[in-house]
A and B are shown apart, each in its own frame.
Chain A
Amino acid sequence: MTRFMHRDIAAALGLLIVGAYALWEAREMSVFGAIFPQLAGAGMVLGAILLALRAAIWIPDVPQNDGAILRPLLMLAALASWAVLLPILGFVPTSLIGAGACMLIAQQDPLPLRTRALHFAGLATLVVSVAFLFGYLLNVRLP
């Protein structure tokens, strides 16, 4: 990001698009229904302009150490898949798969198979306990 564009200018561009969309949509709303959407949209557009100006004129971009990016992206993909599959496969199977995937992603160092199996057994116990607590004791209709 820093090699191509100032970080804040990229953020300002995104904000400008969202703010402009908010204002555009607000045209169709009633007078009272449009007040706060217009306020939010105008605030975002104004904020985006100020942010871009500040980035372009006053503040130099400072490269930031974001840490590793692959693992967070994999974790996000795992969470997204977990959320989408939840109503299809049901809570327990999806959670076992999802928790297993998250465990593998979060594992930084290679662990012996036995330790991994123990970790997964602990997670499986948590999933079943949560399902029992919510499904039976709290009467939540789990998928």
Chain B
Amino acid sequence: MLEALLSAATPFNLMLALIGVVLGTIIGALPGLSATMAVAVLVPFTFTMDPASGLIALGAVYTGAIYGGAYAAILVNTPGTPAAIATALDGFPMAKRGDGDLAVTISCFASAFGGLVGALALLIVAPPLATIALKFGPVEYFWLAIFGLSLIAVLSKGATLKGLIGGFLGLGLSTIGSAVVGGDVRYTFGNPVLLGGIHIIPALIGLYCVPVLLNMVATQDPHIERAATGRGTRVGEALTLMWRSKFNLVRSSVVGTVVGILPAAGGAVAGLVAYSEARRTSKHKDQFGKGAVDGVIASESANSATVGGGFVPTLVLGIPGTPPDAIILGALMVQGIRVGPQLFVEQASTVYTFIFGLLFATVLMIPVGLLIGRTAFRAISSIPKAVLAPSIGVLIMIGAFAVEQNPTHVVMMVALGAFAWILLKFGFEASPIVLGLILGPIAEQGFVQGYLIGNAGGNIWGEFFGRPISLAIIAFTLLTLLWPLWSDRKTRMRLKGAPE
């Protein structure tokens, strides 16, 4: 272990970690450029390096990209990566009220903490944790998606009906294209472009960013409140707030690590689940969605923890937890490294050097993140709208195009943006639609596969309601939905019983 630690701490590896984090953060901050693309672009450069150094570079890029997504979420209300969806819910309201610098600093520390928890889990308990991934079948994924969808009720307090309708709209949008099971062609209007469905990145850009852009030009008000002079990066304030939210921070990091271990769940699901839990357990539930610090902490710590968590099944089982993990798995194979349970024994030096490198990269993310975040906040809060609006226009156009180098995605992005803007005029928020769009395919695939398995075994009900992990997720879902009602009732009773 000590040898691996020293090997990871060589100037060359530290430089790779630093460059990787900087590049990843910048790429992640640009809407449309995902962590997957950041890792994929840099894979060829690692082929000439020794395996551990190459892995450190890729891991650092991945870590930086997941964190970088928070900037656009906080400052422009557009998640730079899908993992930052939940960050936008409270990060942007914080920026609107003049706390954008605080939100960026908190997201940096929360991401670093979550990243460290994920990497430490990888270092200490990877093999036993990997077995969790094997226990997750289609039904568990179905219930996990339902748990995520239950967040709609949480997000849309005060407008629950419109929130639920938005969720169904998102669910409907997710069914466009070829069915995930069976291959039915649905709602394509005979247009082959829609066969692949609605790509999540252009959809995110359209649903979140275009309405912001259109509303930006409607008034003379500043896009976000400008930074007050002399407040610096507000590190002390951020650390104090995080200390107050320490249980949320730890819980969200653990949630992120566990969700990261589940193949295909990813940072978006982790962020949403952690956000939901943070809101459920918070004493200030009504602040969520209006700029709650706890919301940013939960989302950012959870999505960054998925990096380390995702490497657990990738390295131990050869099952990639997220798309960037799949690319890194491919890079490992090119390097001649065979992943599997024996990897931690046969290639111990390489694996532990990589894990320590990932830990260093996560720590390096703090100065890098604070520096880039501060610059980004100052730039966006001081640029006049006449320059900011077209600049965002350029970035969303290239972002939507670059995902699959497909001009149709750009048109789709603008169309969805117009749709979201009109819906906003009628009081429908974008977040429930996005939740339906993201979680719909996971729920559908899990449901149909679970049904088929249950049917083949002659026990459909048992398949859905008789498995321990499923029951635990169902219990959490019910708790999420019913807790606010119970809590409100308790408060009312207390107020009624209180002396005048």
CA distance A91 to B393 in the complex (A): 12
CB <8 Å contact, A108 and B220: yes
Instruction: Select which of B182, B213, B388 is within 8 A of A33 by beta carbon.
Output: B182
CA distance A19 to B169 in the complex (A): 9
CB <8 Å contact, B184 and A33: yes
Closest chain A CB from B433 CB (angstroms): 11
A80: B residues at CB distance < 8 A:
411, 414, 418
The B278-295 residues at the A interface (CB cut-off 8 A) are: none
Instruction: Select which of A11, A25, A108 is within 8 A of B385 by beta carbon.
Output: A108
**A91-133 Cβ-contact flags toward B at 8 Å (1 or 0):** 1000100111011011110010000000100110011001000
CA distance A7 to B427 in the complex (A): 9
CB <8 Å contact, A44 and B165: yes
CB <8 Å contact, B182 and A30: yes
Given A76-B417, A95-B394, A98-B390, 16 extra CB contacts under 8 A? A15-B165, A32-B452, A33-B183, A34-B184, A39-B171, A44-B165, A54-B161, A79-B417, A80-B414, A83-B411, A100-B390, A103-B390, A105-B389, A138-B33, A138-B37, A142-B401
Interface residues of B (CB under 8 A from A): 33, 37, 41, 161-162, 164-165, 167-169, 171-172, 174-175, 179, 181-184, 186-187, 210, 213-220, 384-391, 393-395, 397-398, 401-402, 405, 407, 410-411, 413-414, 417-418, 421, 423, 425-428, 436, 440, 443-444, 447-448, 451-452
CB <8 Å contact, B390 and A33: no
CB <8 Å contact, B393 and A36: no
Ordered by A's residue number, 19 sampled pairs between the chains whose C-beta atoms are within 8 Å are: A8-B426, A8-B427, A32-B182, A33-B182, A40-B168, A44-B168, A47-B165, A51-B165, A54-B161, A72-B218, A76-B210, A82-B410, A83-B397, A86-B410, A91-B397, A99-B390, A106-B385, A134-B398, A140-B398
Interface residues of A (CB under 8 A from B): 7-8, 10-11, 15, 18-19, 22, 25-26, 29-30, 32-37, 39-41, 43-44, 47-48, 50-51, 54, 64, 66-69, 71-72, 74-76, 78-80, 82-84, 86-87, 91, 95, 98-100, 102-103, 105-108, 111, 119, 122-123, 126-127, 130, 134, 138-143
Contact A75/B171 with A87-B407, A103-B389 known, Cβ cut-off 8 Å: no
Contact A76/B214 with A34-B184, A36-B444, A123-B391 known, Cβ cut-off 8 Å: yes
Instruction: Select which of A36, A79, A126 is within 8 A of B210 by beta carbon.
Output: A79
Instruction: Select which of A25, A64, A139 is within 8 A of B186 by beta carbon.
Output: A25
A141: B residues at CB distance < 8 A:
405
CB <8 Å contact, A123 and B390: yes
A66: B residues at CB distance < 8 A:
218, 425
CA distance A79 to B263 in the complex (A): 37
Closest chain B CB from A53 CB (angstroms): 10
Instruction: Select which of A74, A79, A105, A130 is within 8 A of B398 by beta carbon.
Output: A130
Contact A79/B414 with A68-B219, A72-B217, A127-B394 known, Cβ cut-off 8 Å: yes
CB <8 Å contact, B386 and A103: yes
CA distance A74 to B175 in the complex (A): 31
CB <8 Å contact, B405 and A102: no
Closest chain B CB from A33 CB (angstroms): 3
CB <8 Å contact, B426 and A11: yes
A138: B residues at CB distance < 8 A:
33, 37, 41, 402
Which of B172, B179, B210 has the most A CB atoms < 10 Å from its CB? Answer: B172
Closest chain A CB from B374 CB (angstroms): 20
CA distance A87 to B405 in the complex (A): 11
CB <8 Å contact, A76 and B386: no
Instruction: Select which of B162, B216, B401 is within 8 A of A86 by beta carbon.
Output: B401
CB <8 Å contact, A122 and B387: yes
A82: B residues at CB distance < 8 A:
393, 397, 410, 414
A143: B residues at CB distance < 8 A:
401, 407
Q: Which residue of A lies closest to B173 (CB)?
A: A40
CB <8 Å contact, A33 and B219: no
A126: B residues at CB distance < 8 A:
391, 394
Shortest 7 CB-CB distances between A and B: which pairs?
A33-B184, A43-B168, A40-B172, A47-B165, A102-B390, A106-B389, A67-B218
CB <8 Å contact, A111 and B386: yes
A119: B residues at CB distance < 8 A:
384, 386-387
CA distance A50 to B162 in the complex (A): 10
Closest chain A CB from B58 CB (angstroms): 16
Q: Which residue of A lies closest to B167 (CB)?
A: A43
Instruction: Select which of A22, A35, A51, A72 is within 8 A of B448 by beta carbon.
Output: A35
CA distance A122 to B386 in the complex (A): 11
CB <8 Å contact, A106 and B390: yes
Instruction: Select which of A11, A50, A69, A76 is within 8 A of B428 by beta carbon.
Output: A11
Q: Which residue of B lies closest to A88 (CB)?
A: B407
Q: Which residue of B lies closest to A138 (CB)?
A: B41
Instruction: Select which of B161, B216, B218, B384 is within 8 A of A51 by beta carbon.
Output: B161
Which of A41, A54, A64, A138 has the most B CB atoms < 10 Å from its CB? Answer: A138
A107: B residues at CB distance < 8 A:
385-386
CA distance A139 to B181 in the complex (A): 34
Q: Which residue of B lies closest to A50 (CB)?
A: B161
B427: A residues at CB distance < 8 A:
7-8, 11
CA distance A98 to B179 in the complex (A): 36
CA distance A50 to B210 in the complex (A): 29
